[in-house]
Chains A and B, each alone.
Chain A
Amino acid sequence: MAVIVDFIVQAAQMLLVLLLAPLLTGFVRKVRARLLRRQGPPLIQPYRDLVRLMRKDVVLAENASWLFRVIPYLIFAATWVAASLVPTFRTGLLFSWSADLIAIIALLGSARFFLALAGLDVGTSFGGIGSSREVMIASLAEPAMIMIVFTLALIAGSTQLSAMAGFLASSAVGLRVSLALALLALIMVAIAENARIPIDNPATHLELTMVHEAMVLEYSGRHLALIDLTASLKLLLYVSLIACIFVPWGLAPPGADLFALASALAAYVGKLAIGGFLLALFETSIAKMRVFRVPEFLGAALMLGLLATLLLFVSRGL
């Protein structure tokens, strides 16, 4: 019986992240529009966009290979699996032991690798420029992310997200400088990974500045819908990750009753809303960076992560 309940909770988690992801994107867009004193699109606009794109024909470039057609499904699957392994409302999910935080980063890394391949597949300059810039950003964001994982693993003694959330929710943690540095670095990496404003603008098609949109320029129809959904899932994943590690309160423990699960779910939605609001606030308050200023931004994240790890090597109490 317990296994069946665990299985249902895991399936609910997979479905939940999939269903909430476009809503979070819509919410961020809405808040941004309101902050700029515009009306903004309705919250459910991303769902409508997805349905409209799904129904359209795919217009495929004549020289596109089979890989180009498979990649949207591949990156969607990798990101979906990664997102469903992050504890959102309940720790100790059925399959959470199958992959730790490092495996989640590896899944996102392989999704990025395949997307960069797709950008190069058709052979247009646009796709190439997007891929090369994405790889440049990755070359700095991934080491920074690994440093953050080292910091958290040194504190929590585990790379397993459920164990981490459980440890950080306990009173044994206290206030630590290294955790503050890791949080700052993780926010910077999350902004870069999700192509948000100081790094990249998801709403623009200006060739001088675009990164993510340049890679997916040749995609249309259901393929584009999957890529948009993947981008939303990735945003949700990072907000959930920050919430699960740094704001782990309200997570239901394994074996919680239905009422505890419902309140944990409400807490999760609240955390997503606060995360989305803060993201929109940050995005409206800052201008887009030049592409070659990005390494300085991510270099700062890498240094913060490195500093946090070094502090922990000096003293485990920091």
Chain B
Amino acid sequence: MFAFAALCLIAGILPGFFIDALAPAVQDLAGDRMPVQSDVAWLSIVPIAASRSSYNGLLVFVFMCVSGGLAAFAIHRLASDRLRRAPPWDCGYPDASPATQYSASSFAQPIRRVFGSAVFRAREHVDMPRPDDLRAARLTVELRDLVWETLYAPIAGAVAFAADRLNHLQFLTIRQFLSLVVAALVLLLLVLAIWP
């Protein structure tokens, strides 16, 4: 994984070589390609013309390293470099339980909430008992997969319907079955004969 991460970083810093390496694939797919980028001075990329857009990942990277390093050096030398370790802020509950831990689904909750109502037609049902009722409150979220429902479910339904109807063929007597085969054969031969 580190290798892939490092490759991503290198692709961002030196994009010209990667654009050139991908050029044959782009040529095949799109019929055209970007100008050769490895000839551009200073390892920068210029898709059309320098006045339109250009990018030099290496320079930006060096810029960031220098400014970050400079800030770290200046702060550590001129201000303070002392450090103390302490327990993190626990919101007043010192015994953390795994149930309260932040999980992947809690991280995605706001996004699910925002996009869920449109993409998954999510509906929340809240069952809040009256104050004198000791029943637990229930919060249920109902999600519908619209892509599945519009694209795949009709096809799956049609296949199931046809399979149901054709299932009868499995329970024919041997005479009926042979008649069916002969009829099918005649039909296919007729189709073949009539077909231009």
A residues whose Cβ falls under 8 Å from a Cβ of B: 14, 51, 54-64, 73-74, 76-78, 80-81, 95, 97-100, 102-103, 107, 120, 122-129, 131-133, 135-136, 139-140, 153, 157-160, 163, 217-218, 221-222, 225-226, 291-292, 295
Contacts and interface: CB of A to CB of B under 8 A. Distances in A.
A60 B85 contact: yes
A135 B111 contact: yes
A133 B110 contact: yes
B83 interface: yes
Greatest chain B CB density within 10 A among A74, A128, A225 is at A128
A267 to B, nearest CB: 24
Given A61-B87, A123-B102, A295 B54 contact: no
B11 to A, nearest CB: 13
Contact of B53 (A64, A100, A123, A127): A100
B172 interface: no
A222 B111 contact: no
17 contacts: A55-B80, A59-B85, A60-B83, A61-B88, A76-B68, A77-B64, A99-B55, A99-B59, A107-B64, A120-B102, A125-B91, A132-B106, A132-B110, A158-B52, A159-B53, A160-B54, A295-B114
Given A55-B79, A58-B84, A98-B59, A158 B53 contact: yes
B54 A97 contact: yes
A221 B54 contact: no
B100 interface: yes
Contact of A136 (B54, B60, B110): B110
B27 interface: no
Contacts of B72: 73
Interface string B38-77: 0000001000001111111001100111011001100100
Interface string B94-114: 000000111000111111011
B54 A128 contact: no
A222 B79 contact: yes
A57 to B, nearest CB: 4
Closest A-B pairs by Cβ, 9 of them: A128-B102, A77-B68, A61-B88, A54-B79, A136-B110, A98-B56, A98-B59, A159-B53, A57-B82
Contact of B113 (A62, A218, A292): A292
Given A74-B68, A77-B67, A295-B114, 8 more contacts: A59-B85, A62-B85, A62-B86, A99-B55, A124-B89, A136-B110, A163-B52, A221-B80
B51 A158 contact: yes
B28 interface: no
A160 B51 contact: yes
Contacts of A107: 60, 64
B60 A122 contact: no
Given A77-B71, A226-B75, A292-B114, A126 B91 contact: yes
A85 to B, nearest CB: 8
Given A77-B65, A107-B60, A124-B88, A160 B53 contact: yes
B90 interface: yes
B93 to A, nearest CB: 9
A107 B63 CA distance: 12
Nearest to B76: A222
A77 B84 CA distance: 24
Given A222-B75, A295-B114, A62 B88 contact: yes
B71 A76 contact: yes
A22 B25 CA distance: 49
Contact of A99 (B51, B60, B67, B111): B60
Contacts of B75: 54, 222, 225-226
Contacts of B53: 100, 102, 153, 158-160
Contacts of A81: 60, 63-64, 67
Contacts of A102: 53
B68 A59 contact: no
A97 B50 contact: yes
Given A62-B85, A98-B54, A124 B90 contact: yes
Nearest to A136: B110
Contact of B102 (A54, A125, A139, A221): A125
